[in-house]
Amino acid sequence: MGETIIEKIIRHNTGKAVKPGDIVTVNVDRVMIHDIFIPFVADKFEEMGFTKLHDPDKVVLIYDHLVPASQQDDTRHFRTGDAFAEKYGLTHVHRSDGICHQLMTEAGYVKPGDIAFGTDSHTTTYGCVGAFSSGIGYTEMASILGTGTMWIKVPETIKVVIDGELPENVMSKDIILRLIGDLRADGATYRALEFAGSTIENMTVASRMTMANMAIEAGAKCALFTPDEKTAEYCEIELNDYQKSLVGDPDATYMRTITYKAEDFVPVMACPSQVDKIRNVSELEGTEIDQVFIGSCTNGRLEDLQAAAEVLEGKKVADFVKLIVTPASRKIYKQAADMGILKTLSEAGAIITHPGCGLCCGRTGGILSDGERVVATNNRNFLGRMGTSKVEIYLASPRTAASCAVAGKIVSPE
């Protein structure tokens, strides 16, 4: 009997063949804790009676949501994190280097075939390189820190096959939004999404990251892409035989297979205030906006900033519209600066911020008020996420978002 990618990863980790529904204990290769959760993880770790970390080298602490501090209590999280790192010998600490989900693969912490957990739901992002990664709570994280292990239930797999060439102005963000709209917000709950097909093979790792990042918005436990030469180049490794084997077998058992033709995709948006409320951009044209946000762990990468710059070249952001651009990491910020991308964006009228989570989590800069409307490239448009509960958030690709910034209203990217 063939295996899905998630079944191969778990078998390699545990030494036992598995099937969906099995309860197994896995050895965790890497964990990530961010600034919001570190006080709770630290308290629970010591409450459980642990006196040392199982393996300090496997732990990464990242300050990204609360940097720079926008509320008085934020600094408590930094002090607690620094104290925990010093007490237990953490060496992988990032205090303002970018967003956790960008850094975990960019800095080489997660490799193809790894099993990783993080204190954030969008930990599914690392599936872009073929890793099983998923978000957990602070109690589970404290347990992993002390034991190095975690129990899981082997998920069923939904296979998503996309073949063909994407139309101009359609990005991977449009694909994952369309899929979420088709599956609905709970359609993949505790299941693995496995992506395949020629369209996927032709994607950059950055585009795959966008899709893996948003898999959780359909309830998925994880999202998985087969490692290839692009993955190897991105991770700066040579794929070993195990990593090369991480492809779904032809005779593997899938609970469902969904197929798309790439040519059928069009630019779409998630409308307020549900991620699965998907509409074609053409149906929303003319809706006036107040702000545009390009960034986040979903779409703050170099190719996203470049796509926005191509739209904004020689143009200006519409009057009375704010365009906020937030690179996902310091590395991306520097690359965009060296390539002239930030110059193009700033000349168009963009406000360029330090790398971090920023407006996505409604913290540092750009929150909106009653009746205001924003087009954003992040992953969630829930009520109150970017200001008051009466702010309307539309989710879109960077190319669509940049087009809207120029027009001052929702328009299709042309």
* DSSP string over 165-223: -PPTT--HHHHHHHHHHHH-TTTTTTEEEEEESHHHHTS-HHHHHHHHHHGGGGT-SEE
- Pairing, β 115-118 against β 92-94: unpaired
234, HSE (Cβ side, Cα atoms, 13 Å): 25
- What pLDDT is recorded for position 70? 85
Is the Cβ–Cβ distance between 281 and 268 less than 8 Å?
yes
Query: pLDDT of the chain along its 414 residues, tens only?
Result: 899 999 999 999 999 999 999 999 999 999 999 999 999 999 999 999 999 999 999 999 999 999 988 888 999 999 999 999 999 999 999 999 999 999 999 999 999 999 999 999 999 999 999 999 999 999 999 999 999 999 999 999 999 999 999 999 999 999 999 999 999 999 999 999 999 999 999 999 999 999 999 999 999 999 999 999 999 999 999 999 999 999 999 999 999 999 999 999 999 999 999 999 999 999 999 999 999 999 999 999 999 999 999 999 999 999 999 999 999 999 999 999 999 999 999 999 999 999 999 999 887 789 999 999 999 999 999 999 999 999 999 999 999 999 999 999 999 997
Question: Scanning the structure block, which residue is given the tokens 């694909």?
Answer: 175
195 and 224 Cβ atoms separated by less than 8 Å = yes
| Nearest residue to 235 via CA among 126, 113, 106, 103 | 106
Q: Six-digit token pair at 146?
A: 């002390």
Q: Coil, strand or helix: which one is 127?
A: helix
Q: What is the pLDDT of residue 69?
A: 87
Axis-axis angle for helices 138-147, 38-47 (nearest 10): 60
All structural domains of the chain: 23-151 (3.30.499.10), 155-265 (3.30.499.10), 271-407 (3.30.499.10)
User: If we measure between CA atoms, which residue out of 129, 35, 60, 117 comes closest to residue 357?
Assistant: 35
**What residues does 72 pair with on adjacent strands?**
none
Angle between helices 74-88 and 38-47 (to 10 degrees): 50
Task: Quote the tokens at residue 399.
Answer: 């190319």
* DSSP-based three-state secondary structure for 135: strand
Going by C-alpha positions, the residue among 334, 330, 367 that lies closest to residue 62 is 330
- Supply the DSSP symbol for 109: -
Q: What is the pLDDT of residue 374?
A: 98
H or E element: which one contains 45? helix 38-47
Residue 149 has a CB neighbour count (10 Å cut-off) of 12
Of 260, 277, 257, 258, the residue nearest 269 (C-alpha): 277
What gap in Å lies between CA 412 and CA 399, rounded to an integer? Answer: 9
Q: How far apart are the C-alpha atoms of 278 and 275, rounded to whole Å?
A: 7
